[in-house]
Amino acid sequence: MNEARRKLVVGNWKMHGTHAANEALLEALKSAGPLPCDAAVCVPFPYLAQAAERLARSAIEWGAQDCSAHSQGAYTGEVSVGMLADFGCRYVIVGHSERRALHGESDQLVADKARAALASGVTPIVCVGETLAEREADDTEAVVKRQLSAVIHTLAHCTGEMIVAYEPVWAIGTGRTASPEQAQAVHALLRAQLRAATPQADRMRLLYGGSVKPDNAASLFAQPDIDGGLIGGASLKAADFLSICRASA
């Protein structure tokens, strides 16, 4: 483990939540006391204000799950990063596999969203990952390198300012998890690619996402190039999310 990289655990609520349920969850997170890692939750757009208000003056930061690549204009239904920043948003997830698969987001669109985020002072969490078919075809390396290359090319000298999350698509919401060794192998590959692009590569945080739970988090986070997690279902239960945060120690 690189002691210079403090672990980061980010909850991705996906399309879950109600005002009342969120109140209980956010209060439990806020009152948990000091954590051994940085922590954040990325919530649906309607609940950004609730998260901002409830997590104010707490150690838990917050973010959004997507953004537009455009700063403003006739883009009905879109949300710009400037709007997110107006709330004090710290992070935004871009390129999640569900966005790529369900909304047809290209590598270049993901890169443009990452650039828009940085331009507004919000840290993008850029997701990369292969499908089961791609892994079985031994294409994992080619896929994740292609996805990351588009972002590196677009961000150029700002590459070191993003966070990268490796999420094997076959492990998201399936209960299947990459073994620590499988996850580390891809993280090491991504770190090497980043080293060729930016002198900040060894300070960048690379997260793992894909059915992370309290019982497997510690073994994943112990890997030398895994600097935390992007947590889906387990982030909807305060006890599970906090257990994963504590596993970072």
Residue 181 located in a structural domain: yes
Give residue 1's pLDDT: 42
Task: Give the separation between CA 34 and CA 16, rounded to whole angstroms.
Answer: 26
Q: Crossing angle of helices 140-155/107-119, nearest 10°? A: 40
Residue 235 located in a structural domain: yes
Give residue 126's pLDDT: 98
Given a cut of 90, is residue 177 above it in pLDDT? no
Residue 104 located in a structural domain: yes
Residue 1 located in a structural domain: no
Domain holding 88, by residue range, is: 8-15+36-247
Task: Give the separation between CA 119 and CA 121, rounded to whole angstroms.
Answer: 6
Residue 199 located in a structural domain: yes
Given a cut of 70, is residue 43 above it in pLDDT? yes
* pLDDT tens-digit map of 71-118: 999 999 999 999 999 989 999 999 999 999 999 999 999 999 999 999
Mean pLDDT of the chain: 95
Q: What is the pTM of this model?
A: 0.96
Residue 128 located in a structural domain: yes
User: What CATH number is given to the structural domain containing 41?
Assistant: 3.20.20.70
* Residues noted as catalytic: 96, 167
- The mean pLDDT of 163-190, rounded to a whole number, is 91
Given a cut of 70, is residue 18 above it in pLDDT? yes
- The mean pLDDT of 232-242, rounded to a whole number, is 97
Residue 20 located in a structural domain: no
